[in-house]
Amino acid sequence: MRIAVIRFPGTNCETETAAAIRRAGGEAALVDYRDTTLDGVDGVILPGGFSYGDYLRSGAIARFAPVMQPIRHLAEGGGIIVGICNGFQILCEAHLLPGALLHNAARRFSARPVDIRIERADLAVTRDFREGECIRIPQAHGEGRYVADAGTIASLEAGRQVVLRYVPVPGSDMPHNPNGSVADIAGICNPAGNVIGFMPHPERLADPLLGGAVGHRFFTSLVGARAAELTA
């Protein structure tokens, strides 16, 4: 199980993302944004960070990097593409996922744990969860307010494409939705479910050394999911 972790100029979560893949038993390959092939790769993670300094709009320039060509091909062929934080922004800019991620409604960078509900447990990164399970996980972003027109939101809901949703934190005085996302959306997938993007950072809570390992399950899902498919 070989996962490509793409590094753009300004990406800064690739090392811990690769470490989380390896810890889950997968093989991680750091791939440069200028590469034009993804041979021998079973899946791709676009990790967090600030590709191209977030110039113009977050993800707007990374979308045209050479590596996006083979990623698009892989996506069209049903390959697993996962965007975390900036990776989610890139997937939206690339129109591999619908909608856009705008500046947080509170005008502040938000970096704190949030509670999210796993809305679907049948996807490559959520198979090791139960549907409806709520977990607390870190997020850190300035542009995470998911928006899309009403028709798109309705079709996301009808097609069960909302994968992760912010949920109220019992006893907390913080807003449960850290950025003002419509419908408390924290993550979505495409209709086929093979392209998935979300704002939280599972790689930051993927080892007990980091204070918890709930994020590890995203990576065991990913690594195990593919292994199961291959033997099926």
Partner 1 sequence: MMFRVRVRVTPRPGLLDPQGTAVEHALHALGFAGASDVRVGRAIDFMMEAVDAATAIADASRMCERLLANPVTEDFTVAVES
Shortest distance in whole angstroms from residue 56 CB to partner 1: 7
Cβ atoms 86, 59 nearer than 8 A: yes
**Residue 85: active-site member:** yes
Binding mask 105-134 for partner 1 (x = CB under 8 A): xxx---------------------------
Q: CB-wise, 53 or 211, nearer to partner 1?
A: 53
Shortest distance in whole angstroms from residue 101 CB to partner 1: 9
Compute the distance between CA of residue 162 and CA of residue 9 in angstroms, rounded to an integer. Answer: 29
Compute the distance between CA of residue 61 and CA of residue 56 in angstroms, rounded to an integer. Answer: 8
Segment interacting with partner 1 (CB under 8 A) among 99-107, 132-140, 153-161, 168-176: 99-107
User: CB under 8 Å to 228, separation ≥6 — which residues?
Assistant: none
Q: H or E segment at 72?
A: helix 68-76
Compute the distance between CA of residue 88 and CA of residue 201 in angstroms, rounded to an integer. Answer: 11
Residues 35-94 that bind partner 1 (CB under 8 A): 56-57, 60-61, 64, 92-93
Which of 48, 99, 178, 197 is the binder for partner 1 (CB under 8 A)? 99
Positions marked catalytic: 85, 201, 203
